[in-house]
Structures are given as C-alpha cells and as structure tokens.
Amino acid sequence: MLSVSVDSRFVHKIWQETELSKMVEGGVPYPMLSDPGGRIGTVYGVYQPEAGVNTRGRFIIDPDGVVQAMEVLTPPVGRNVAELIRQVKAFQHVRETGEATPSGWQPGKPTLKPGADLVGNVWRVWKVENAF
C-alpha cells in the first residue's frame, strides 16, 4: 500500500503528525510518496496540471503490475476503506482459485466457477442478498 500526492515529504510529515496520527494510532502505517510535477499522477490519469494536484484515486495493482481496479473521486466524497479491503481480498481469491467473486462477495461466501454450465445459471448460485 502506498499513498502518492504532489505534496512534499515535509507536508506529508506535518499532515501525519497533526492530523493522521490523531485519527489512526501511530499515524497511517504505509509510505506516503511525493510526486512533484505529477509524473505518477499523469501515468494514472489523475494529475490536473492547471491546478498542480492529483484527483483522489485508488488503484489496485496485481503482482504482475496490471491495474485490476481503480476508483477516482472528487475531494468532497470520501473513499470506503472496507470496500478497498474487500476488493483486495476478492482479487487475491480470484488469483488463487480461478473462481469469480460476484457483487458484494466476502470471504466464505459463494463464488462462481466460470464455465459453459454457468451460462444462464448464475441465479442458481448467487443471490441478490449476498451483494449487501
């Protein structure tokens, strides 16, 4: 897990000390990287050169370096850490088993086994109430 922004490491340090450490005991437990000039943000399509900032986003990148998921939100709307963790667990499960994880999947819940026999039969395995 990494955090990247155009802010300097000094701004990150102050933010960690004055804000984050008061919200999370010991502060955020992952590195905060500085991206002056938005080179990393540009690669991921979130850098706004006219404002000199990155739009807030999160990217799940697999061990092969492939972006598996992304979410970009404007600053007034917060992100959901529980959903991020659920998605990471789902991607790990898919990678380990080859099974598909339907909407709202949680560890221990039903998965889908891709194949010709699944076509037209998803409703037999997956129920809408499992999405919530």
pLDDT in tens, 32-58: 999 999 999 999 999 999 999 999 999
β-pairing, 53-54 vs 32-34, is: unpaired
Question: What is the C-alpha to C-alpha distance for residues 47 and 34, in angstroms, rounded to an integer?
Answer: 13
Q: Chunked in runs of 10, what are the mean pLDDT values of the chain (132 residues)?
A: 91 92 88 93 95 93 95 89 93 96 92 91 86 82
Around Cβ 41, how many Cβ atoms within 10 Å?
20
Domains along the chain with CATH numbers: 3-74 (3.40.30.10), 82-131 (no CATH)
